[in-house]
Amino acid sequence: MKKIIALILVVLMAVGMFSGCVVNEEEKAGTNKYNLTTVKEGYLTVVTSPDYAPYEFYALDENGKPTLAGFDMDLAKYIADYLGLTLEVVPVDFDGIIGEMSAGVADLAMAGLSPDPDRLEKMDFSDIYYGGKQAFVTTKSKKAQFTDLESTNKAEYSIGAQNGTIQMELAAKYSANAEIVTLTKATDIIADLVAGNLDGAYIEWDVAVSYQKNYPDLEIVCEVPYEADGNVIGVAKGNADLLKYVNEALHKCVDEGTFNQYLEKANALAAGEKYEGMLDQDGNVPTDEGVG
Ligand code: ARG
């Protein structure tokens, strides 16, 4: 009897070890083509904030199962492959991104990041890979009140912006007299705006266009001038080799037209079932959150 139990144990252990191998096999370190120093050897650790379609979000399949999607995520995979590194994506709220980069726990930040010069203390910037611009948004019912940026600058208004973003600076600049409400997720700002709790909000133009598909009530009022327009990848401060090869990959991806395909794919997926925000501990869409 003891022998049989021992045998069963051996078989179970072997199965366990084998399945362990399979998992490791899938996630094993890359060949590290350029011998780069990264947070975890052989891996490219990318921090993102997946509440921002078409940049980064979760596409849902017919069973509601979320998969990380968006053109930043395809670009992250492209860069990782180019460098011969295994991609590891770490989703955080946007206001955690700068902290992760300055703590040195991520190699890249890919989150529709604007090249705000204040951030240069904490990270380096890649070249600009996408020409995003800024927007002021409101709802259809309030549209008549907002004709231009000046009309947003009144004490009676509550204006939203995502925590830690350059949109907070834009709100402070153009709507200084209004009550500025900062929220952790872009999703919450749009939801609050549509619910009538906010009068307007600052957000990236393309993200506003994407949210309009889920919230047809959302109205883009005007473009907001911003001197550091466009999007970059945040690169671990002082890692000159990583910066060099990331730029190399970026230019190749854009020049050969692959990045354009990523844009098309992201827009198509963003028009379907999606979730914008953080998943729960089990990797599911939180049940109390609305799904678009
Ligand atoms: N471009 C803005 C910034 O860098 C907002 C980016 C927000 N990104 C996000 N994934 N929620 O401050």
pLDDT tens digits along 183-222: 999 999 999 999 999 999 999 999 999 999 889 999 999 9
**pLDDT for res 33:** 98
Inform me whether the pLDDT recorded for 237 exceeds 90.
yes
Q: Is 113 in the pocket of ligand 1 (CB under 6 A)?
A: yes
* 46 close to 88: Cβ distance less than 8 angstroms: yes
Range 261-278 average pLDDT: 95
Inform me whether the pLDDT recorded for 12 exceeds 50.
no
Ligand 1 mutation target, pool 56, 167, 202, most atoms within 8 A of CB: 167
Q: Are strands 232-236 and 123-125 parallel, antiparallel or unpaired?
A: antiparallel
Task: Locate 177 and state its tokens.
Answer: 């007299």
Q: Using the mean position of ligand 1's atoms as its centre, give its distance from the Cα of residue 29 in Å.
A: 30
Q: How far apart are CA 234 and CA 121, in angstroms?
A: 11
Atom of ligand 1 nearest to the CA of 231: 1
**pLDDT for res 270:** 95
Inform me whether the pLDDT recorded for 291 exceeds 80.
no
Instruction: Residue 229: name the closest of 134, 94, 153 by CA.
Output: 134
Position with higher pLDDT, 270 vs 17: 270
Residue 136 identity: F
Atom of ligand 1 nearest to the CA of 49: 10
Inform me whether the pLDDT recorded for 23 exceeds 70.
no
**pLDDT for res 132:** 85
Three-state DSSP class for 124? strand
**pLDDT for res 27:** 82
- The model carries a pTM of 0.89
Range 120-132 average pLDDT: 96
Q: Give the burial string for 63-85 (b: 16+ CB within 10 Å, else e).
A: eeebebbbbbbbbbebbbebbbb
**pLDDT for res 206:** 95
Q: Is 69 in the pocket of ligand 1 (CB under 6 A)?
A: no
Cα–Cα separations (whole angstroms), residue 207 to 2, 144, 199: 64, 22, 18
Inform me whether the pLDDT recorded for 4 exceeds 90.
no
Q: Is 276 in the pocket of ligand 1 (CB under 6 A)?
A: no
Sorting pLDDT into bands at 50, 70 and 90, what band is 24?
very low
Inform me whether the pLDDT recorded for 11 exceeds 70.
no
* 228 close to 117: Cβ distance less than 8 angstroms: yes
Sorting pLDDT into bands at 50, 70 and 90, what band is 287?
confident
Rounded to 5°, angle at Cα 70 from 198 and 183? 25
Q: Are strands 158-162 and 200-204 parallel, antiparallel or unpaired?
A: parallel
Q: How far apart are CA 264 and CA 270, in angstroms?
A: 10
* 135 close to 222: Cβ distance less than 8 angstroms: yes
Q: Using the mean position of ligand 1's atoms as its centre, give its distance from the Cα of residue 225 in Å.
A: 16
φ, ψ at 221 (rounded to 5°):
-85, -50
Residue in the block written with tokens 């948004």: 137
Atom of ligand 1 nearest to the CA of 72: 10
* Residues present in the chain in total: 292
Instruction: Residue 31: name the closest of 68, 82, 85, 74 by CA.
Output: 85
Inform me whether the pLDDT recorded for 103 exceeds 50.
yes
Position with higher pLDDT, 2 vs 105: 105
Three-state DSSP class for 87? strand
Q: Is 109 in the pocket of ligand 1 (CB under 6 A)?
A: no
Percent of residues, the chain, with pLDDT higher than 90: 87
**pLDDT for res 205:** 96
Q: Using the mean position of ligand 1's atoms as its centre, give its distance from the Cα of residue 97 in Å.
A: 10
**pLDDT for res 6:** 53
Atom of ligand 1 nearest to the CA of 56: 10
Q: How far apart are CA 108 and CA 278, in angstroms?
A: 19
Q: Is 134 in the pocket of ligand 1 (CB under 6 A)?
A: no
**HSE toward the beta carbon, residue 265, CA cutoff 13 A:** 17
Range 136-153 average pLDDT: 96
Q: Using the mean position of ligand 1's atoms as its centre, give its distance from the Cα of residue 167 in Å.
A: 8
Range 91-96 average pLDDT: 96
How many helices (H) and strands (E) the chain has is answered by 8, 13
Residue 263 identity: L
